[in-house]
Amino acid sequence: MITQTIQSNPSPAKNQSLPTMYDLPSEYVGEPAWPDEFHPLQSMLLMLTFIPPNWNREMVFSAMDLYLYYDVNHRLWYKRPDWFGVVGVPRLYEERDLRLSYVIWQEKVSPFVVVELLSPGTEKEDLGKTEREPEKPPTKWEVYEQILKVLYYVVLSRYTRQIKVFHLVNNHYQPAPLTQGRLQIPSLELSLGLWEGSYCDIERLWLRWLNLDGTIIPIPSEEVAEAKRSAADAKQEAE
């Protein structure tokens, strides 16, 4: 009978430090994966709160990390915005199916707003600081500004806790003014800004859609919590 003994790794020497989470990130160039835990949580919060009051919900679409094909002459060229929102297209593809991608020459409507969340591997391109390489697809900045003509382009850094907003004016992006730290979009009856609060039981600064006056657009869990509070208050008053 052969037995095998598995021994744990020996403890490192006192003067040796093991790599931490910050030394071993999940982001590697060319690997299609979320670069960190923050990206999907933040993108989902944007999806849950992108509810323009003046639009029928069935004509509003938003997505996170979905392939966005933008050039009919180069049909395999795409970008993958962390989040983007569109108004004026059916929520479902051809009003019957969930989308596998967003193909601009079929949809015929460009995103109204795109949000990119900065990470070390994409920061320069997200901020328009990279140049297009010969015989390579255009950069994100070029696609959003010159090809898709996305009206609002927003960049958020979780490290500096700051947002940068660019507004398309005369076919070029210009820094957009913020009102009380929020981007006001009257045509959607929405504003976009940083909000300090708990989402998925995580207390931190989040980017989310709000009403023009700054009140939050509640997500389902917040609506349930508010209903419970209202019921408790009503019961207390009755007693």
Beta bridge partners of 226: none
This prediction's pTM: 0.82
Alpha carbon distances (Å) from 163 to 68, 176, 208: 23, 11, 12
The residues near 208 (Cβ < 8 Å, ≥ 6 apart) are: 45, 46, 49, 192, 193, 195, 216, 217
What was the pLDDT predicted at 128? 86
Q: How far is CA 71 from CA 79, 108, 177, 190, in A?
A: 11, 12, 31, 30
Q: Which of 49, 87, 89, 41 is nearest to 65 (CA)?
A: 41
With H, G, I as helix, E, B as strand and everything else as coil, classify residue 141: helix
Q: Which residues does 148 contact at the CB level (< 8 Å), separation at least 6?
A: 70, 104, 110, 111
**According to the CATH classification, is domain 38-238 in 3.90.1570?**
yes
The reported pLDDT for the residue numbered 121 is: 76
Q: DSSP per residue over 173-228, as a string?
A: EEEPP-BTTEEEEGGGTEEEEEEEEEETTEEEEEEEEEETTS-B---HHHHHHHHH
pLDDT tens digits, the chain, 239 residues: what are they?
444 444 444 444 444 677 665 565 555 555 556 678 899 999 999 999 999 999 999 999 999 999 999 999 999 999 999 999 999 999 999 999 999 999 999 999 999 999 999 887 788 888 888 888 888 999 999 999 999 999 999 999 988 889 999 999 999 999 999 999 999 999 999 999 999 999 999 999 999 999 999 999 999 887 776 666 665 665 577 66
Q: Identify any residues that bridge with 199 across adjacent strands, giving them in sequence order.
A: 202
Q: Which tokens go with 167?
A: 């507004």
Give domain limits for the chain. 38-238
